[in-house]
Amino acid sequence: MTGEVQKLIAKAKVLIEALPYLRTFADKTFVIKYGGQAMVSDELKKSVMMDIILLKYIGINPIVVHGGGAEVTQMLNRLGKEAVFANGLRVTDKETMEIVEMVLTGKVNKEIVSLINSHGGKAVGLSGKDSKLLVAQKRPLEPVSGSDEMVDLGYVGDIVQVNPDVIHTLSAEDYIPVISSIGVGLDGESLNINADHVAGQLAAALSAEKLILLTDVEGIFADADDPATLISTLPKAQALEMIKNGRINKGMIPKVQACLTALKHGVTRTHIIDGRLPHSLLLEIFTDHGIGTMVTA
Amino acid sequence: MTGEVQKLIAKAKVLIEALPYLRTFADKTFVIKYGGQAMVSDELKKSVMMDIILLKYIGINPIVVHGGGAEVTQMLNRLGKEAVFANGLRVTDKETMEIVEMVLTGKVNKEIVSLINSHGGKAVGLSGKDSKLLVAQKRPLEPVSGSDEMVDLGYVGDIVQVNPDVIHTLSAEDYIPVISSIGVGLDGESLNINADHVAGQLAAALSAEKLILLTDVEGIFADADDPATLISTLPKAQALEMIKNGRINKGMIPKVQACLTALKHGVTRTHIIDGRLPHSLLLEIFTDHGIGTMVTA
Amino acid sequence: MTGEVQKLIAKAKVLIEALPYLRTFADKTFVIKYGGQAMVSDELKKSVMMDIILLKYIGINPIVVHGGGAEVTQMLNRLGKEAVFANGLRVTDKETMEIVEMVLTGKVNKEIVSLINSHGGKAVGLSGKDSKLLVAQKRPLEPVSGSDEMVDLGYVGDIVQVNPDVIHTLSAEDYIPVISSIGVGLDGESLNINADHVAGQLAAALSAEKLILLTDVEGIFADADDPATLISTLPKAQALEMIKNGRINKGMIPKVQACLTALKHGVTRTHIIDGRLPHSLLLEIFTDHGIGTMVTA
Amino acid sequence: MTGEVQKLIAKAKVLIEALPYLRTFADKTFVIKYGGQAMVSDELKKSVMMDIILLKYIGINPIVVHGGGAEVTQMLNRLGKEAVFANGLRVTDKETMEIVEMVLTGKVNKEIVSLINSHGGKAVGLSGKDSKLLVAQKRPLEPVSGSDEMVDLGYVGDIVQVNPDVIHTLSAEDYIPVISSIGVGLDGESLNINADHVAGQLAAALSAEKLILLTDVEGIFADADDPATLISTLPKAQALEMIKNGRINKGMIPKVQACLTALKHGVTRTHIIDGRLPHSLLLEIFTDHGIGTMVTA
Amino acid sequence: MTGEVQKLIAKAKVLIEALPYLRTFADKTFVIKYGGQAMVSDELKKSVMMDIILLKYIGINPIVVHGGGAEVTQMLNRLGKEAVFANGLRVTDKETMEIVEMVLTGKVNKEIVSLINSHGGKAVGLSGKDSKLLVAQKRPLEPVSGSDEMVDLGYVGDIVQVNPDVIHTLSAEDYIPVISSIGVGLDGESLNINADHVAGQLAAALSAEKLILLTDVEGIFADADDPATLISTLPKAQALEMIKNGRINKGMIPKVQACLTALKHGVTRTHIIDGRLPHSLLLEIFTDHGIGTMVTA
Amino acid sequence: MTGEVQKLIAKAKVLIEALPYLRTFADKTFVIKYGGQAMVSDELKKSVMMDIILLKYIGINPIVVHGGGAEVTQMLNRLGKEAVFANGLRVTDKETMEIVEMVLTGKVNKEIVSLINSHGGKAVGLSGKDSKLLVAQKRPLEPVSGSDEMVDLGYVGDIVQVNPDVIHTLSAEDYIPVISSIGVGLDGESLNINADHVAGQLAAALSAEKLILLTDVEGIFADADDPATLISTLPKAQALEMIKNGRINKGMIPKVQACLTALKHGVTRTHIIDGRLPHSLLLEIFTDHGIGTMVTA
């Protein structure tokens, strides 16, 4: 047997190793929050898209959710408008909201759609306004963290209802839905929603098998300064404790909250994984212990 | 019988008058190009949306196509970028294309979708990039009209293929598709397409019963200066002649071309009507002679 | 804008006004008891048929029930047979029953069917014998009202079972079922059933949204002699009280009973309306307060 | 083995003998013209109904067509109206037509329906007016046979179109359609059609496997006076010859014509059989050589 | 009426007599244990196959289960291997198991399949290994009856799970499943299962209407020596009592147990009938009191 | 990035490499002739089964065909019966045929079925007798190759009709059909058919995308003695030439013939590959140039 053939056989064995996972996940829905570095590097972009298309072909039903803060800030800059943040969220006045929506729904979303389609998938982009997929309401005034002052975050919304019918319609015909994190208020106005929250709520509404959040760290660490302390499995109680004592903080908070929301509504597994790793989605799905941190009920 | 009751009976008779049209158009597809003044005035906007929702409820299948040139120009101005036109088309460099796409797909499209949904319809917005609905190619260099000079229109595209499956999927589940006039090139790039052309091509690909183009004039006039010369029915030969001799000109040219494209592919009736008239869609559909100009094969 | 156009726009607005009702009643079943003057005047006949066809086209599912006492009496006269009534019901001997069935099922029913079909509907006539739609049993001897004497009403029946499968089969294929008020006894014999009762029982068995009884008065009056006392909404308790004290009497009793039967089995709204009014069906359905008297649970 | 058991085994063998016919006729449509003595004798009535129900249970799709001349004449007599015939057809004035329709559709049809339902079948009665099943036109003036005089047969019609959709709808849900020989004219008027013709046309429109006409003779005889000359198989050419030379005459003519119509439109086998024989339908279907006369293409 | 015709009519009456049973059993599942003399005599074989095919054609859903002990013993003899029995069961070592499986699945099963197919049915053979239809486990050591000694029956199995999906798949497409009494162990090994038990368990898993066991006696007798004491209906309590006191013994025990298993899981009727009688299946099904012994809950 | 992670990423890349093949082969049918060494070695058995199950999970529709000559010979030996061959085919007398059928259908088939099921597939075994899948006729006397003498091969058959309905029924419900190479004659008798021929005919009847024959050599060699002359692509003309000149001979002849049969009936690709290679099926399918010899039209 030549070396070439032996290499081929090794490859075939990799496919065979995937078999138990194929069995487990056939016809299941995975909600994937796409973001961070994986949305910047051309190579990583392609790697994630290929992973998503592969999932579809082998009988898994991927749903992609994305935000796009960096691109929004860039467009605001071009318009000479400063990005303002409070409590880790963008203060979104009417003009900013218009830009947020245009960038997320009219630019970022279509780039993802087009990338999937170019590599042989069949993607359709949606925003939360389409068929009222994500009904939201404006967040009330809230105290600035660590202060008495109240802040009006403007057109920042929280989801009050998910109408997932259009997702089912598209998935049933083998389209891959790609969803921008824009909600629709009761008066039809646009609202800016945290994309992690959108992913968590969609996973809940779709009774997804998995919620997978791509981010730019390896996972959650017991000690942020010690890379050896990556937490493989994080139970809810411990997660809440770590939020309270500040070890989970900043952008990781909505991610963990999204996981907890999903778990509460029956999603089986939720994962925070490192999107900087090529094919991180496949690694999470097709290896026994997975990668990153799994948050559990 | 009181006057109140007589008024009610008169209303009932109006409904009954609609019956023959309901019979004729049951389950038929109408492609509606939405634009002009009807996209600006709040009252007209609502009037058109109500018309579209009514069509859906009475068993007609409306497909909405839109452009949005005015809003694009406005955004370019905000970015300090000048809008350049040649041969009646926007010269679309890469940066302009990005703005065109964001405005049409991320703003105008979602406003229409949200307006329909607010009034009880179920709309889903699409661009030509979604599941490669509108595959286009860049227009080659063309001579500036009335000159030897050649102009590169940039990211202006012409449709080479329509993949209407996603429209069928959505219509079958009673969604109203709303489509922005953005195409996708062979390399996945965005292309700016004339919305009238998009409407004509979609009507053709969907074997629509009617193509209706809303515009800001009453129709086509034999003598542009004499309002008494509105042409009710314009046969193809005469239309081509009027384009040649310049009586049909400027923005009316792509509208008439869209009608001819649709007619060539089996669309039964094509209409250019006055979108400034409240409920112009219903008037065209539910009156015997219709309104505006009907272009015929 | 010419006056002609303004008139057209007014018409379009009437259609638009119908929209909320279309939304509310889409795919709902309406059982309509057709009778009285509306079954005599050619103009009213046509008006009712057009209303019914319109309902079908806009997505409502109309079921028509009819009797035909006047035509029966006329045929009995031609045969030299006197019509005998007791307690407001026709005393139906075997020969009379044969005539009742022939007239209702073989004449009146087919005239309605043919009228609907001539105006573009797709009607199919049924009697309660078809696939045992209305299983009934002979009414036992009953005392003549205001007397000790007992009367045998003969082949007068009361419904004991409704088998609505054939209605579902026909409605699903967009036929309009037209049902004559003939029941079938346990031995296969024909039984004469009050058509109002048939309508009430069918509405119940079909879980109809509405039961609408066409009659020859404007509705139920608090004081029969004062046209200003038309009762718009009549709750069950008050209806029973008015039957008891005789203010509701004669032919109005079975109509009110039919409404109460329907309400008891979950029909949402029941109406007694004036069939002498052109398009009374549409008026009831497409105006906010309706017409006639609504009986409520 | 006791005699009782041997008798049982003999019965079982009869069932087994039916097997090849079950295989041949599974899911096939049989149009059965019911009439003559079999529609008079209570015993024969029941025998035919049982046969029809059995056919349905074993997977054949029976369609029953009937006339009812004797009952019509009887009702006319009761009304003091004389039955007039010309060219073997009832001269049908407007009043007669009304009686014909009432008797056939409102009495005879419902008796058959009720009889089938009483014995465990699921029958639904139709006339040619239901959903325009049988569209007909008035027969023009025709010469009285053997004379120069012309006769207006009145409301006697000839079928110009069969719309069998409602038959398919009912058969698909396992109903047995029972059809009275009344047609509908272009203006919605009732027309009296020969029931044999109706059967022939329906068999053609339904692409039936068999057309079976029950009559009161054993079949067609080469020599009407010699019972030994029963023709088992009658080819079209010979049939036409026998009509020409008068050996086939009177009421047998429309029967043979019905067979020829059916054969012309692809019906496989057509039979004229003796309805006076108990279970003649089963005998024709479940024996090798059949009974009566088979007319062939 | 000739004698020939009278004979035909008598035959037709037999078919009509079957009608009430057709109604009762339409679309019901019958599990039939085929064995004994009926599997040896060519004439009886054909008689049973014809019965089964007839059942299928008239809308009943027959499932055939078989063993084949005699043929196994014969093949063992050809191989010079002695058949050993303990407690009425074949002691099944590995080599014997291989022969048992080959004979039952590769020979007996295919003969039955081929016989049904030759006579116009559509049979498909299965063993309990196909799609894990019959999951079983090895029977533990058990005491030899009437002794302290323990015996290892080897590859004799008891059913622990029935996966009837493949039966439903085949039945839905009108195939007649024929099942050999081989089970599959948890490690994929073959196990020899009593065919009566297989029939009982399948009837239970399929919610069959009837379980019918063909055997070589007329039924169960109160007094084995007195043919006049055939028990027509045997209630569970009495059956258990008779097993206890030895009146039911040997090969009749698993038959009665199969009936009790089926009854416990909702099978309506269970029958032990005489397979030596031609058409015994039809006799049981199409006569009022049936034949053999009916075991009841 | 640790070495562990790099290894995982390499594995993910292998999965991604499979994507274009998944796209190409989604929902396609592959007929796989299983035999030779791959049916002997436990490791190879498992490797082939895993490959087949994987194909099913990723949306390909595998159909397995097998013979089993070695096991037949072994059983014949145990029975003291000598295996006789002529023209490379087993001379199959009645007793031999019985053994062939038992071994192939009752032993080899069930082992394959059980092996697939043990590893998570859902296999159902069939022989050509099930629902007359493979109708065959006895081969006429033929001359012994290189001689004038005629030989009667006995129960050796050639396929005359394939009835693939049962395959479609099973595949549609995600069963993997496993088919033994036994045909059924017109009289229901068993016939021994070359398994390569069965595979070729089934591929033709199923309009398979691929026919893959596993064998014990690397493929077809231009020069049998020079392993460097493996023919990658063998056009039909060259194949016929090589059979004629004897370079293709013995057991390779029916394999090549099977390929040619399949190609003639529209099968896209046919392959003769080395079953001794682990995962040879996957290698053939998921590598660009495939392995073994591809026979082409």
- In this predicted model, what pLDDT tens digit does every residue of D44-81 receive, in sequence order? 999 999 999 999 999 999 999 999 989 999 999 999 99
Per the listing, tokens 């390909």 go with: F60
Question: Measured between alpha carbons, how far is A258 from A246 in angstroms, rounded to an integer?
Answer: 17
Which residues of chain A does B115 touch, with a Cβ-Cβ cutoff of 8 Å? 188
Percent over 70 (pLDDT), chain F: 100
Residue F41 confidence (pLDDT)? 94
Sequence-distant (≥ 6) Cβ neighbours of residue F293 within 8 angstroms: F219, F220, F230, F231, F232, F233, F234, F271, F272, F273
Q: Do chains B and A touch (3 or more CB pairs under 8 A)?
A: yes
Question: Measured between alpha carbons, how far is B202 from B179 in angstroms, rounded to an integer?
Answer: 10
Question: Measured between alpha carbons, how far is D99 from D154 in angstroms, rounded to an integer?
Answer: 14
pLDDT digits (tens, 9 = 90+) for A45-56: 999 999 999 999
Of E1, E8, E58, the CB nearest to D58: E58
Residue B185 in contact with residue B138, Cβ under 8 Å? yes
* Other residues' Cβ atoms within 10 Å of the Cβ of residue D17: 17
Residue B35 confidence (pLDDT)? 94
Interface test with C, best of B56, B57, B273 (most C CBs within 10 A): B57
* Mean pLDDT computed over F175-192: 97
Question: Measured between alpha carbons, how far is B208 from B211 in angstroms, rounded to an integer?
Answer: 7
Question: Measured between alpha carbons, how far is C8 from B2 in angstroms, rounded to an integer?
Answer: 24
A187: its two tokens: 């008066």
Question: Measured between alpha carbons, how far is F275 from F269 in angstroms, rounded to an integer?
Answer: 18
Of A175, A187, A190, the CB nearest to B166: A175
B286–C58: do the CB atoms touch at under 8 Å? Answer: no
Question: Measured between alpha carbons, how far is D130 from F192 in angstroms, rounded to an integer?
Answer: 60
Of F12, F17, F22, the CB nearest to A283: F12
Closest CA to E135 of E186, E197, E206, E177: E186
pLDDT at D1 over 70: no
Q: Is B164 helix (H, G, I), strand (E, B) or coil?
A: coil
Question: For F19, which residue in chain A has the nearest alpha carbon?
Answer: A54
Residue E1 confidence (pLDDT)? 56
C110–D101: do the CB atoms touch at under 8 Å? Answer: yes
pLDDT at D244 over 80: yes
Percent over 90 (pLDDT), chain F: 86
Residue F177 in contact with residue F165, Cβ under 8 Å? no
Residue B152 in contact with residue B92, Cβ under 8 Å? no
Q: Is F240 exposed, middle or buried (0-12, 13-18, 19+ CB in 10 A)?
A: middle
Sequence-distant (≥ 6) Cβ neighbours of residue D167 within 8 angstroms: D63, D126, D133, D177, D202, D206
Question: Measured between alpha carbons, how far is C259 from C243 in angstroms, rounded to an integer?
Answer: 13
Burial A38-75 (b: 16+ CB within 10 A, else e): bbeeeebbebbbbbbbbbbbbebbbbbbbbbbebbbeb
Residue D88 confidence (pLDDT)? 80
pLDDT at C230 over 80: yes
Sequence-distant (≥ 6) Cβ neighbours of residue A171 within 8 angstroms: A29, A61, A63, A177
Q: How many residues does chain F have?
A: 297
A277–F120: do the CB atoms touch at under 8 Å? Answer: no
Q: Is B130 helix (H, G, I), strand (E, B) or coil?
A: helix
pLDDT digits (tens, 9 = 90+) for F243-261: 999 999 999 999 999 999 9
pLDDT at F263 over 70: yes
Residues of B that are catalytic: 33, 36, 69, 196, 255
pLDDT digits (tens, 9 = 90+) for E104-124: 999 999 999 999 999 999 999
Number of H helices, E strands in chain E: 11, 16
Q: Do chains B and F touch (3 or more CB pairs under 8 A)?
A: no
- Mean residue pLDDT of chain A comes to 94
Of F131, F189, F190, the CB nearest to E124: F131
Of A12, A50, A57, the CB nearest to F59: A57
Which residues of chain D does C78 touch, with a Cβ-Cβ cutoff of 8 Å? 79
Residue B259 confidence (pLDDT)? 98
Question: For E285, which residue in chain D has the nearest alpha carbon?
Answer: D12
* Other residues' Cβ atoms within 10 Å of the Cβ of residue E62: 26
- Mean residue pLDDT of chain B comes to 94
Q: Which is it for strands D89-90 and D85-86: parallel, antiparallel or unpaired?
A: antiparallel
pLDDT at B276 over 80: yes
Question: Measured between alpha carbons, how far is A230 from A217 in angstroms, rounded to an integer?
Answer: 10
B50: its two tokens: 């109500």
Residue D131 in contact with residue D167, Cβ under 8 Å? no
Confidence class of residue F76 from pLDDT cuts 50, 70 and 90?
Answer: very high
Question: Measured between alpha carbons, how far is F14 from F12 in angstroms, rounded to an integer?
Answer: 5
Burial C61-89 (b: 16+ CB within 10 A, else e): bbbbbbbbbebbbebbeeeeeebeebeeb
Which residues of chain A does F8 touch, with a Cβ-Cβ cutoff of 8 Å? 283, 287, 291
F33: its two tokens: 């002739």
Residue F146 confidence (pLDDT)? 80
Residue A5 confidence (pLDDT)? 81
* Mean pLDDT computed over B157-175: 97
Q: Is E217 helix (H, G, I), strand (E, B) or coil?
A: coil
Residue B27 in contact with residue B61, Cβ under 8 Å? yes
Which residues of chain F does E185 touch, with a Cβ-Cβ cutoff of 8 Å? none
pLDDT at C1 over 60: no
Residue A1 confidence (pLDDT)? 56
B102–A104: do the CB atoms touch at under 8 Å? Answer: no
Residue D242 in contact with residue D220, Cβ under 8 Å? yes
C272: its two tokens: 């007694």
Closest CA to E6 of D277, D49, D42: D277
Residues of C that are catalytic: 33, 36, 69, 196, 255
Q: Which is it for strands C210-215 and C29-34: parallel, antiparallel or unpaired?
A: parallel
Burial B175-197 (b: 16+ CB within 10 A, else e): bbbbbbbbbbbeebbbbbbbbbb
Question: Measured between alpha carbons, how far is E210 from E213 in angstroms, rounded to an integer?
Answer: 10
* Mean pLDDT computed over C87-114: 95
pLDDT digits (tens, 9 = 90+) for E238-274: 999 999 999 999 999 999 999 999 999 999 999 999 9
Question: Measured between alpha carbons, how far is A197 from A155 in angstroms, rounded to an integer?
Answer: 16
Residue B1 confidence (pLDDT)? 56
* Mean pLDDT computed over D135-151: 90
Per the listing, tokens 């007094």 go with: E223
Q: Which residues of E touch D (CB under 8 A)?
A: 1, 5, 8-9, 11-20, 22-23, 26, 47, 50-51, 53-54, 57-59, 120, 277-279, 282-283, 286-287, 291
Sequence-distant (≥ 6) Cβ neighbours of residue D246 within 8 angstroms: none
- Please enumerate, as own/partner, the contacts of E79-87 that have beta carbons within 8 Å and a separation of 24 or more: E79/F78, E79/F79, E86/E144, E86/E151, E86/E153, E87/E142, E87/E144, E87/E145, E87/E151, E87/E153
Q: How many residues does chain C have?
A: 297
- Mean residue pLDDT of chain D comes to 94
pLDDT digits (tens, 9 = 90+) for E59-118: 999 999 999 989 999 999 999 998 899 888 899 999 999 999 999 999 999 999 999 999
| CA geometry: angle C100, C104, C106, nearest 5 deg | 105
- Mean residue pLDDT of chain C comes to 94
What region, left, alpha or beta, does residue E247 occupy, with left being phi > 0 and alpha being psi -120 to 50 degrees? Answer: alpha
pLDDT higher at F143 or B65: B65
Question: Measured between alpha carbons, how far is F155 from B48 in angstroms, rounded to an integer?
Answer: 78
Q: Which three-class secondary structure string do you get for E25-92?
A: HCCCEEEEEECHHHHCCHHHHHHHHHHHHHHHHCCCEEEEEECCHHHHHHHHHHCCCCCCEECCEECE
Confidence class of residue B65 from pLDDT cuts 50, 70 and 90?
Answer: very high
B131–A122: do the CB atoms touch at under 8 Å? Answer: yes
What region, left, alpha or beta, does residue D86 occupy, with left being phi > 0 and alpha being psi -120 to 50 degrees? Answer: beta
Residue A4 confidence (pLDDT)? 80
Question: Measured between alpha carbons, how far is D18 from D285 in angstroms, rounded to an integer?
Answer: 9
Question: For D104, which residue in chain C has the nearest alpha carbon?
Answer: C106
Per the listing, tokens 């010369």 go with: B229
CA dist F153 → B77, E188, F96 (Å): 91, 36, 11
Question: Measured between alpha carbons, how far is D204 from D211 in angstroms, rounded to an integer?
Answer: 9
Rg of chain A over Cα atoms, rounded to whole angstroms, equals 19
Q: CA of F73, closest CA in chain E: separation in Å?
A: 14
**Domains, in order of start, for chain D:** 32-296 (3.40.1160.10)
- Please enumerate, as own/partner, the contacts of A82-89 that have beta carbons within 8 Å and a separation of 24 or more: A86/A144, A86/A151, A86/A153, A87/A142, A87/A144, A87/A145, A87/A151, A87/A153, A88/A250, A88/A251, A88/A253, A89/A153, A89/A156, A89/A194
Supply the DSSP string of A250-281, one letter for each residue.
TTHHHHHHHHHHHHHTT-SEEEEEETTSTTHH
Closest CA to E73 of E96, E105, E41: E96
Question: Measured between alpha carbons, how far is C232 from C294 in angstroms, rounded to an integer?
Answer: 6
Q: CA of E284, closest CA in chain F: separation in Å?
A: 27
Confidence class of residue B248 from pLDDT cuts 50, 70 and 90?
Answer: very high
Residue D166 in contact with residue C175, Cβ under 8 Å? yes
pLDDT digits (tens, 9 = 90+) for A70-95: 999 999 999 999 889 988 889 999 99
* Mean pLDDT computed over C165-187: 97
* Mean pLDDT computed over A185-204: 97
Q: CA of E231, closest CA in chain D: separation in Å?
A: 17
Residue A249 confidence (pLDDT)? 92
